[in-house]
Structure 1
């Protein structure tokens, strides 16, 4: 994986000017990850008949936001203080997408000396950008009083600075090569969470919880399916009692077509 992201076999070779297309592509995909996830969610909604939005309209809106973001920022900077706030997708493009696109262009033309630090720092910058975007509509400081968005933005800025420093260290100083990534566990756990999110309303809590648990169990090759099935049934029973009755959450237990 390290070689695919542009790491040379010589650990002590200084950072050099050279093409690193696979590393740049990885950073570019990270830059477009929120838009891709939103589009995939809309496509899943079409398949499952959920009101997640029109995929074509979402793609057009995201594209328009990416194109119009620089002009909107200039208008906001040069306009009156009462100018309308920027749309959420435009803010996402300015705070998250465009900075990572710049890092992707940098990655295309350099080979970092410490790839693990370099790409890890970029991931921290991405997380901080998402945090800044998520807290962008919260009120900030009012005089000496903290607003609800003050602390999230403060920590996000600190994390972004830390990530940039780590990435710069990986670019300029010798460091560890990228190690192998255990993809199976994170993949199936993420799929189980996504499965629960998109199936709990149409299929009910019983089926969605049990299915999500079994998908998560695929994350390890050492799963014992008999024991896993028993535990899954027990956890599903607990969830069926906990969420609708103990916590009072309006979650259906059975599929929608059975309740109609």
Structure 2
């Protein structure tokens, strides 16, 4: 019975990790969808939410066949990465940016998520950390896939991203393998409140700076970030936020000469 319960607990942990990897695989698409909501209110330019969903859904479907072909010829894909991967200009002309994101980033992470279900994870921190680093490297390879020097031995703006991205993929794979072969620590407790509110503050600043201006946006962003700590003293936070807002109001338009609106658009009009 003990062995059965132990196996069940391991399977449960693996399932949770695999679900987390699946969310990681579509994290860029989710972020773009959230960002596109701002276009409804005129806070940015680009595709709307429906266009983002349709584009990525079509890309995930159309690039699946290419990814299956790569898996069926994995040794050739590895050699192809060294000499002509990510796809060069000829291939990029037939694939959209969304399809390349699915092919280079999403489907490899999905494949890792599926394999995770059948593996025994001995060191969760090493394994998950290695996969997250691998995802970061793959995303960097996709982001630089349209730069020159990303094909063969040609040199250009994309040479360094390709080299460092490939090196990070190899190192992160080694870290993940360490988590499978050697006994290590389990997951440590991690508080999401601080990073969550800091990211929310950054997103609010990016979306609200044009319609609301520097004064309102800087102060509200600081207060949102201050919410990430249980030890925040709101009177002191408001004073510090006001001082930082004054500094931003002087720094951006006058010292740096950036054409940033100072006050909300509806007050100026």
| Alignment match of 2:34 (pick from 33, 40, 59) | 40
Distance in 2, matches of 1:9 and 1:17, equals 10
Contact map agreement 1:46 1:52 (CA 8 A) in 2: no
Q: 1:134 to 1:226 in 2, by over 3 A?
A: same
Give the 3 Å change call, closer, same or farther, for CA 217–197 of structure 1 in structure 2: same
TM-score relative to the length of structure 2: 0.82
| Residues 163-215 of structure 1: per-residue CA shift (max 9 Å, x gap) | 11111110122111010112111111111101101100111111111111111
1:62 is aligned, of 51, 56, 70, to 56
Q: Provide the residue aligned with 1:23 in structure 2.
A: 17
- Unpaired stretches in structure 2, ≥5 consecutive residues: 70-79, 81-87
Aligned to 2:107: 98
Secondary structure of 1:226's aligned partner: helix
Partners of 2:199 and 2:215 lie apart in 1 by 19
Offset of 1:227 from its aligned partner? 1.6
* Residue 138 (1) aligns with residue 147 (2): yes
Superposed CA RMSD in Å reads: 2.7
The corresponding residue for 2:210 is 201
Aligned residues: 245
1:248 deviates by 1.7
Q: Does structure 1 conserve the Cα–Cα contact (< 8 Å) formed by 2:66 and 2:103?
A: no
- CA shift, 1:142, in A, is 9.1
| CA apart distance, 1:22 | 1.4
Relative contact order: is structure 1 or structure 2 higher (C-alpha 8 Å, sep ≥ 6)?
Answer: 1
Secondary structure in structure 2 of the residue aligned to 1:250:
coil
The Cα of 1:20 is off from its aligned counterpart by 2.7
Match of 1:250 among 247, 255, 259: 259
Q: 1:222 to 1:68 in 2, by over 3 A?
A: same
CA drift at 1:46: 2.2
Residue 243 of structure 1 deviates from its aligned partner by 1.1
| Contact 1:118–1:170 under 8 Å retained in 2 | yes
Runs of 5+ unmatched residues, structure 1: 1-7
Give the aligned partner of residue 192 of structure 1.
201
Q: 1:216 to 1:9 in 2, by over 3 A?
A: farther
**Cα distance change on mapping 1:142 and 1:181 into 2, 3 Å:** closer
Whole-Å separation in 1 of the counterparts to 2:191 and 2:13: 27
* 8 Å Cα contact 2:150/2:162 also seen in 1: no
CA change 1:103–1:199 in 2 (3 A) is same
**What is the TM-score normalised by the length of structure 1?**
0.85
172-181 vs 62-71, which moves further:
62-71
Distance 1:150 1:133 in 2: 13
Structure 1 residues 158 and 82, CA gap change in structure 2 (3 angstroms)? closer
